[in-house]
Amino acid sequence: MFNWDDFQTGAGRVAGVAGALVSMRFIAGSIAERLVMAAGGALFSFFASEYVAHKLAIPEGLAGFLLGLFGMSILSRIWDWVQTVSIDGFIRSWFKIPPRQ
């Protein structure tokens, strides 16, 4: 029997892949690099679309498409932040530990 809720969840996943494939048009690099980046965007969409749809009160398909489309841009910014942040300083500020003297 057809279950509409299962279809909507699946539609969000498929929309994420479609968004990632659309983003390949705008990504520079070789075809292999573009495929890897699109796969990363699709995976990001797969895991985050339900959460983002709930938080923004938008359909899951739209959230999936947008996350697939912009997923690699978002992930690259997060990676840049991870590369520049001081892990020691981050942990100390998170747990409110005073700096070393």
Task: Dump pLDDT digits (tens) for 38-92.
Answer: 888 888 888 888 899 899 999 888 888 888 888 877 777 777 787 787 888 878 8
Establish if 99 belongs to a structural domain: no
- Report whether pLDDT(27) > 90: no
The candidate with the shortest Cα–Cα distance to 52, out of 38, 42, 66, 41, is: 66
Q: Which domain holds residue 78?
A: 7-94
Token reading at 92: 């100390």
Establish if 69 belongs to a structural domain: yes
Establish if 101 belongs to a structural domain: no
How many Cβ atoms are within 10 Å of 1's Cβ, its own excluded? 2
Establish if 1 belongs to a structural domain: no
Total structural domains in the chain?
A: 1
**Residue 6: predicted pLDDT:** 58
Q: Which residues of 9-42 are buried (b: 16+ CB within 10 A; e: fewer)?
A: eebbbebbbbbbbebeeebeeeeeebeebbebbb
The model's confidence at residue 28, banded by pLDDT at 50, 70 and 90, is confident
- Please say whether the beta carbons of 50 and 9 come within 8 A: yes
Establish if 44 belongs to a structural domain: yes
> Could you tell me the pTM of the whole model?
0.64
Establish if 48 belongs to a structural domain: yes
Establish if 30 belongs to a structural domain: yes
